[in-house]
Amino acid sequence: MKSILVVLFVALSSLSSVYCQDAEKMNGTFVSYEDGVYVFTDKDGYNAEFTSITDEASRKYNLTDKTYIGKQFIITFIVETEMDEFDEEIQVSSIIGLTMPE
């Protein structure tokens, strides 16, 4: 019974850890979705690439639909460090929230 509680605790902790990280926000124009990457451009012309999006955000705005290209968004995202195929650390950005400015 104790082992089930420990496993449950670890599972719930890992699920919530993504949202406990420091989230950042940026304003950006949606440029494209290609090969699983969402690309936005900020007012200075900097491209930001996001490799994943939460189900909640993707239900709100289906960015695989080309009708959102050129639209302004406020993007809430997190940045995580992962290992690539060469065992080098890389920064991976994931969208956790999307809104359109009024």
**Which tens digit of pLDDT belongs to each residue from 51-94?**
999 999 999 999 998 999 999 999 999 999 888 888 888 889 99
Are 79 and 25 contacting, i.e. CB atoms less than 8 angstroms apart? no
Alpha carbons 55 and 57: distance in angstroms, whole number: 6
Residue range 17-28: average pLDDT? Answer: 75
Residue identified by tokens 């993707």 is 58
Alpha carbons 43 and 86: distance in angstroms, whole number: 34
Q: Where are the domains of the chain?
A: 21-99
Q: How many other C-beta atoms can be found within 10 angstroms of the C-beta atom of residue 50? A: 23
Residue 92: phi and psi, rounded to 5, are -120, 125
Q: Which CATH class is domain 21-99?
A: mainly beta
pLDDT at 1: 45
